[in-house]
């Protein structure tokens, strides 16, 4: 039906509490709703149906639109993306909100030949402000975590070269394959600057994830000779499994430009992009103004993205979880995700019944390309 599908994840842009939000202490969370409240209408998001989903209205749109419910045990990046691509996480990845065990830290010091500082749950920007100057003097590793299942290692690029930091993180990934330490991702977090006043994390971040436990839609596409183009951190999230081309990005603006570049190229398959700034720069920091500005920036670019699409292209815009910038704490929020389908060949544009799982998105993609559906129910027949 469609020669190319462009799947864009607006990272953390959820659209209201999931039915099991109480289990995650996330009642009344609503990332998109609370971010746009008392703000000017984002006209292109409105045309795509976001405000209809938010307000339960039925105004005219240019797309099919719906919500998808999460069924995986977790509300993090890895579980959200895996579910979209047909792998359900039943046992949540391990978290270490109070810091990592001494035994693991000693192993990291041994393989890196460097001491560790930090070992706490913290904002990445804040812990660099706090410990960055010391790290520059001593060459120690700043190890920290968050509410997510992650072990992050921060180091100044001029003190610990990127190649060394990446090698350390790769070895830590191997260490944390042990069941008692099995976090979802190890993340290299390089930064630059001369003092706490101007430290900045660079775009040289690298994630070391776990291999999916079974074949995803991406694997099935690649194994059937379709292109699977990753933009942003998608290849890291899937540990490069099922990816044919990986394109790194610096920020949302760079990611949007690279999406448009990919639309201009000829290929047959899936272009899968993640725009991460909503989550990393604004959601976790509970910065509503910054979050809204980032949504406005994307809203302004939607006409360009649509303009370059071909008649037999399908655009899907969705999310992987919530991260309500007005909510308590700094953690992700358990939310439903908006799902928008746009094509120039559509005759009808209307609301579709809610999807029972994020995996229905991947199932729709797999069905379009006539490859095996790992999990989920396709709605391709509704897109006319």
Domains by residue range for the chain, with CATH: 4-90+210-382 (3.40.720.10), 102-208 (3.30.70.1250)
CA dihedral defined by 324, 38, 59, 310, rounded to 10 degrees?
-60
Dist. CA 33–CA 19, nearest whole Å:
17
Q: pLDDT, tens digit, for every residue of 107-165?
A: 999 999 999 999 999 989 999 999 999 999 999 999 999 878 999 999 999 999 999 99
Name the pTM for this structure.
0.93
pLDDT in tens, the chain (384 residues): 999 999 999 999 999 999 999 999 999 999 999 999 999 999 999 999 999 999 999 999 999 999 999 999 999 999 999 999 999 999 989 999 899 999 999 999 999 999 999 999 998 999 999 999 999 999 999 999 987 899 999 999 999 999 999 999 999 999 999 999 999 999 999 999 999 999 999 999 999 999 999 999 999 999 999 999 999 999 999 999 999 999 999 999 999 999 999 999 999 999 999 999 999 999 999 999 999 999 999 999 999 999 999 999 999 999 999 999 999 998 999 999 999 999 999 999 999 999 999 999 999 999 999 999 999 999 999 999
Q: pLDDT, tens digit, for every residue of 93-108?
A: 999 989 999 999 999 9
Residue 254: Cβ within 10 Å count: 16
In the chain, what is the greatest distance between 2 CA atoms, to the nearest angstrom? 64
């Amino acid at each position: 039906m469609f020669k190319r599908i462009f799947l864009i994840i607006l990272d953390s842009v959820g659209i209201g509490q999931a039915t099991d939000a109480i289990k995650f202490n996330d009642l009344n969370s609503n990332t998109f709703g609370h971010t746009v409240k008392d703000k000017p209408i984002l006209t292109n998001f409105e045309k795509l149906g976001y405000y209809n989903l938010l307000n339960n209205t039925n105004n005219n749109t240019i797309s099919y639109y719906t919500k998808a419910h999460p069924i995986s045990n977790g509300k993090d990046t890895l579980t959200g993306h895996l579910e979209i691509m047909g792998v359900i996480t039943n046992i949540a990845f391990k978290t270490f909100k109070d810091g990592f065990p001494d035994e693991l830290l000693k192993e990291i010091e041994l393989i890196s030949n460097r001491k560790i500082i930090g070992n706490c749950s913290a904002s990445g920007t804040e812990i660099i402000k706090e410990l960055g100057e010391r790290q520059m003097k001593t060459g120690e590793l700043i190890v920290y975590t968050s509410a997510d299942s992650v072990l992050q290692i921060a180091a100044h690029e001029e003190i610990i070269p990127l190649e060394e930091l990446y090698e350390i993180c790769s070895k830590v990934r191997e260490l944390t394959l042990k069941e008692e330490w099995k976090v979802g991702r190890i993340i290299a977090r390089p930064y630059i600057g001369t003092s706490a006043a101007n430290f900045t994390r660079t775009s040289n971040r690298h994630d070391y994830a776990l291999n999916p436990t079974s074949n995803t839609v991406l694997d099935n596409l690649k194994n059937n000779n379709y292109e699977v183009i990753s933009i942003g951190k998608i290849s890291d999230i899937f540990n490069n499994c099922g990816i044919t081309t990986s394109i790194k990005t610096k920020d949302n603006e760079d990611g949007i430009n690279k999406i448009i570049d990919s639309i201009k190229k000829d290929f047959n398959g899936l272009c899968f992009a993640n725009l991460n700034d909503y989550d990393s720069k604004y959601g976790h920091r509970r910065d509503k103004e910054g979050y809204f500005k980032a949504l406005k920036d994307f809203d302004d670019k939607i006409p360009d993205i649509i303009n370059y699409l071909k008649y037999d292209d399908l655009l899907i815009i969705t999310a992987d979880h919530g991260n309500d910038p007005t909510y308590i704490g700094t953690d992700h929020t358990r939310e439903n995700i908006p799902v928008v389908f746009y094509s120039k060949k559509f005759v009808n544009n209307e609301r579709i019944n809610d999807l029972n799982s994020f995996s229905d998105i991947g199932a729709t993609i797999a069905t379009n390309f006539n490859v095996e559906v790992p999990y989920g129910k396709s709605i391709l027949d509704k897109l006319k």
